[in-house]
Amino acid sequence: MQVLNTQAFVGKTILITGGAGGIGAQTALSLAKLGANIVLSDIDDDAVQVTMGHLIETGAKALYVHTDVSDVEQVSALFTQAVEAFGRIDVVLNNAGVEYAPTPTHLTDDDLFLTNIDINLKGVWYCVKAALNIMLAQKGGQIINVASVAGLRSAPLISGYSATKHAVVGLTKSVAVEYARANIRVNAVCPSFIDTPMVQRTLAHMDERGQKSIIGASPMKRLGQPQEIANAIVWLASDESSFMNGHCLTLDGGMLA
């Protein structure tokens, strides 16, 4: 997937949650290089400043708003500030997420499960609603949700995380159909194990055998790279994917093939 029009994002505004690192940061940088205005949100103020520095180096206009996506008031403030700064929001990437160490379901702490619900599901729900209200008024836009292969298949030992990602897939498809005639497209990406801080935290909880099993789960026998996911998101965000709606794009090196 390649965006052939290098001017495709000039003047467009992209809002990205969970933008401090990993997929969010790499996508922000890729879009900034194509001329987009970038609005980042996260709760890691220190880490996001590194990303902001890279964005400014590209010459892009960029805004950071500290946001806990599980707090509807903070989400509302994020979208309000984005519109005040740039006038509109063309694309929203719901990337903020959280995980927990692989644990048998019957031993998983309920608070960990509820934290996953708060960020991975409620956070996406709040951002989708905020995006829809803005995009309906401006007569168009795109929403891209970061789900997971764990939202498409079983995920033993992380069943709570998997439950939230299945919910994101269902939300993506339902909203896509509901708002298609309003010129609002909604899609998702479903990565497998990508070399991000989140996956590195998961690997740190495993022994060598467990780590090898994670890396070997893909037929390509490696972790995906954030840039590989960012490339797909950039294409989805472009008009070159104009007939794709309600789709959950799998990026897993062949794991589900």
13-17 sheet: strands from edge to edge: 62-66, 37-42, 13-17, 91-94, 141-146, 184-191, 248-251
DSSP 8-state code for residue 155:
-
Tokens 């070997």: give the residue.
216
Closest CA to 232 of 253, 211, 216, 201: 253
User: 9 with 239: CB under 8 angstroms?
Assistant: no
Residue 251 pairs with which residues in a beta bridge?
Answer: 191
Please enumerate in sequence order all residues whose Cβ is within 8 A of that of 212, keeping only pairs 6 or more positions apart, or say none. Answer: none
Question: Quick check: is 161 catalytic?
Answer: yes
Closest CA to 103 of 157, 159, 162: 157
- The residue annotated as part of the active site, out of 64, 100, 126, 161, is 161
| Residues annotated as part of the active site | 161
